Structure 1
Amino acid sequence: MALLQKMVARSFTYSLRISGAIFHSVLVDPNPIRVSNSTISSSSSSLELDCDLEQLDPLNHKDWLSPNEVLKIFRSLRDPDSVISVLERISQRKDYKPNESLYTIVIQKLAKAKRFDSIEDVLKRIKNEKNCRLSDDFFNCLIKIQGNVAGHIDRAIETLFAMPEFGCWPTNKTFCLVLNMLVSAKQFDIVHEVYLGAPRLGVAIDACCLNILIKGLCECDNLDAAFALLDEFPKQGCRPNVRTYSTLMHCLCENGRVDEAFELCEKMERKGCNPDTITFNILISGLRKQGRVAEGMELLDRMMLKGCYPNSASYQEVLYGLLSSEKFVEAKNFMDRMISEGVFPSFLSYKLVIHGLCNENLLGDVDLVLKQMVHQGFVPKMGMWKQILERMFSGNNR
């Protein structure tokens, strides 16, 4: 009791001190400042500006700035909107010597601030200065920003064909980047135009370029033209690779021409090009969509005999085939095999297996699958429990 009284007394004394402090502050300033969110935001911006001004202090001195010191200034800028003004200030100095590293940082800062028009102004500056050598890596990065970040694929194409004006010729890597960008955007007509411009850029067409064109033709369901393009490989001094054939097989399977896909696979092997896991997965998926589950399981075993090891997608395709064929007991046994080989079924697989086993009143199997599912870290949903309980209390269970 005495201890409790002491604690109350201390609390009362502490409250008096706080009240006194508040009373004193009111006397000193009867109009206390109320801090709003805009004030906090303004303070934060001011703090960033102060930090930037502090970092820009070397620009006010006549001391010689090394290229690394200039890079350090730009890296430290917290306000992206100040990039252009700082670039203008630095360009007025006698020690100004632009290089690729400087312009890379400038463009990345502007891209982060979504100042894409300013990036175009920087490119004009580079062209006018004519004293900065740029590499293919610089333009590769720039084209990714223009096409993928800004969504200006037309500017990406313009940059590709303008590279020689900067004293830099594109590599196949950058040329293929633009081709792939156009295929992903489904601008198939423009893909062909860019492809025909390869000689102007000094780009030697390789398997990567032709593979992208085949991918584009397959995506617009022009299979005849895609197969005709296979004849271009020897003309360009290159050979089709596994990616070439896999793309064509995928398109054949998507169009229900699975047997033709297998014939193409055999042709590929005769030409000395071995299928990989992706190739087998495409064929297994094609068989699944036609309900040829047993053939899919055989192909899974055959690929291992060829020294090509299946991945989780390989097993999952076979499992979905069993489930769509309503072979739920076989699916349960196949899931056991998957787990023994270190591959784990998806939540959807467990859900479909339990649903199927419940419909067949195989509650003993349901119990085993449920335990396995929980052991893999999945939590059964309410609908699943409801279905299991309904079967348990309906009688006629096995």
Structure 2
Amino acid sequence: MTLAQPNSILSLTQPNSSSHLTRRIPPLPDTLPRSATMPVTIRRLLTATLRTPNILSHSRPALSSRHVIPQPSFPLTHPSLYHRFLSSSSTENPNPPNPLRTRTPLEKQFETWVHKLKPGFGPLEVKEALQAQSDPDLALDIFRWTAQQRNYKHNQATYLTMVKILIDGKRFRQAETLVEEVIAGACEISVPLYNSMIRFCCGRKMLFNRAFDIYKKMLNSEDCKPNLETYALLLNSLLRRFNNMHVCFVYLRAVRSLSKQMKACGVIPDTFVLNMIIKAYSKCLEVEDAMQVFREMGLYGCEPNAYTYGYIAKGLCEKGRVGQGLGFYKEMRGKGLVPTSSTYMIVICSLAMERRYDDASEVVLDMLSNSMSPDLLTYKTLLEGLCRDGKGSEAFDLLEDFRKGDSKMGEKTYKTLLNALHFVNGE
């Protein structure tokens, strides 16, 4: 088609379902100036018509549903696995995926387990499928996919399995999400599930208060009362925050409350739980309460161990009741129990400050006989105390004895102690 004269008749045909319509462009008036742009416009229109003759007749074809991927209604760890979910749900996406696309190993594994879960599967089959996964992300995808299926709902067993898998796989954010779902009522409650959630929350600094929220829900429930494991987890979490005296008194109230509620619920404590309560009282120098719990241990059929005696001995010595602390130490040694190194050193320092140097020296030698070594401060407290009391020669002799019995005392420690004794003696 060519452009002849400005006043010539041009025809553009547009195909229609019934007939061809002819559009005529009227002749241009002779009065148009030479600079008019109408011929250029017509030329552009004709050029576009020649290139796309059906531009006026056909609308743009719609996108195929294969190219439109709906957003999932639940979060998936691997977005690619959701493609497998669409292909497995014929009602949502009847078109098969592109067969030329290479599937990843995780997609193949996800598809395999989806096919294994035949229609009508229950929580037991889902639990087995989750436990068989070595990848926690793939297990979570299966967990979420099964939750979307009709006539199925996760129970406490599947939630407990999934929470453990995520915690072991260090997927803490996803585990926190599941904990919130359970608290909101996603499944029926059970003691093992709630204890697992409390253990997880106690191990996370920002979820410390959430652990006690779960504990309160257990207290208010009818068939999910806290047991001994629950109280052990909470007490252990509280004791890890006993860093200084002021903080100890803040958390001691919670320890007292838990102890009372444990008795009210009829939970019989064991030695481990009672030791934690004794430790809390001793750290706050509430030694009378600690000794009261110590005397009650026989009522619960519990036998005190080295930690029990050690906590009370340290608390008594720090309280200033060194004689009683030494008595608990001797009772412990009489039963063949070996104190910890911290118990040894506190007893030694307390005796040295009370000028009971003979008793302190015996405790040092006992400590060395059990393959434990006092630190530099403990040695200095005892030996310098002897020098200040005018027993310098005895201090030098003890230093030589300690050097022979302490295989861990290095040359640097020995010279430091020797120089300190010379300085205190004014030599």
Paired letter, 2:203: N
Structure in which a larger fraction of residues adopt helix: 1
Deviations 1:7-26 (A, max 9, x none): xxxxxxxxxxxxxxxxxxxx
Question: How far apart are residue 229 of structure 1 and its match?
Answer: 3.4
Question: How far apart are residue 282 of structure 1 and its match?
Answer: 4.1
Paired letter, 1:176: A
Q: 2:198 aligns with which of 138, 143, 146?
A: 143
Show the counterpart of 1:14: none
Say whether residues 1:121 and 2:180 are aligned partners. Answer: yes
Show the counterpart of 1:13: none
Q: 2:408 aligns with which of 343, 353, 358?
A: 343
Show the counterpart of 2:245: none
Structure of greater Rg: 2
Structure 2 unaligned regions, length at least 5:
1-76, 83-103, 118-124, 242-247
Question: How far apart are residue 205 of structure 1 and its match?
Answer: 2.6
Contact 1:249 1:283 in 2 (8 A): yes
Paired letter, 2:200: I
Question: How far apart are residue 285 of structure 1 and its match?
Answer: 3.4
Contact 1:253 1:283 in 2 (8 A): yes
Contact 1:258 1:286 in 2 (8 A): yes
Show the counterpart of 2:347: 283
Contact 1:100 1:133 in 2 (8 A): no
Show the counterpart of 2:214: 159
Question: How far apart are residue 71 of structure 1 and its match?
Answer: 4.1
Show the counterpart of 2:16: none
Tell me the distance in 2 between the aligned counterparts of 1:221 and 1:346.
Answer: 38
Q: 1:333 aligns with which of 378, 383, 400?
A: 400
Alignment of 1:89-100 (within 5 A): 89-93=145-149, 98=158, 100=160
Percent of aligned pairs with the same amino acid: 18
Q: Do the aligned partners of residues 134 and 297 (structure 1) sit closer, same or farther apart at CA in structure 2, a change above 3 Å counting?
A: same
Paired letter, 2:144: E
> What TM-score results when the alignment is normalised by the length of structure 2?
0.55
Question: How far apart are residue 157 of structure 1 and its match?
Answer: 2.5
Show the counterpart of 2:130: 70
Contact 1:316 1:345 in 2 (8 A): no
Show the counterpart of 2:237: 181
Paired letter, 1:77: D
Paired letter, 2:373: S
Show the counterpart of 1:33: none
Q: Do the aligned partners of residues 115 and 334 (structure 1) sit closer, same or farther apart at CA in structure 2, a change above 3 Å counting?
A: farther
Contact 2:275 2:308 in 1 (8 A): yes
Contact 1:252 1:261 in 2 (8 A): yes
Q: Do the aligned partners of residues 166 and 301 (structure 1) sit closer, same or farther apart at CA in structure 2, a change above 3 Å counting?
A: same
Q: Do the aligned partners of residues 63 and 200 (structure 1) sit closer, same or farther apart at CA in structure 2, a change above 3 Å counting?
A: farther
Over the residues paired in the alignment, what is the CA RMSD in angstroms? 4.4
Could you list the runs of 4 or more consecutive aligned residues of structure 1 that deviate by over 6 angstroms after TM superposition?
50-53, 94-97
Say whether residues 1:224 and 2:284 are aligned partners. Answer: no
Contact 1:206 1:238 in 2 (8 A): yes
Contact 1:52 1:76 in 2 (8 A): no
Alignment of 1:251-330 (within 5 A): 251-265=315-329, 273-278=335-340, 280-301=344-365, 309-313=370-374, 317-318=378-379, 321-322=382-383, 325=386, 329-330=396-397
Tell me the distance in 2 between the aligned counterparts of 1:312 and 1:52.
Answer: 59
Deviations 1:315-353 (A, max 9, x none): 9844652256566744652453145xx434496x34623
Question: How far apart are residue 140 of structure 1 and its match?
Answer: 4.7
Contact 1:163 1:169 in 2 (8 A): yes
Contact 2:310 2:339 in 1 (8 A): no
Paired letter, 1:64: K
Question: How far apart are residue 124 of structure 1 and its match?
Answer: 3.6
> What TM-score results when the alignment is normalised by the length of structure 1?
0.58
- Between Structure 1 and Structure 2, how many residues are aligned? 299
Structure 1 unaligned regions, length at least 5:
1-47, 362-396
Paired letter, 2:197: L
Deviations 1:200-259 (A, max 9, x none): 655213333333222222222222333333443344444544433321211111123212
Tell me the distance in 1 between the aligned counterparts of 2:418 and 2:294.
Answer: 47
Paired letter, 1:145: F
Contact 1:323 1:352 in 2 (8 A): no
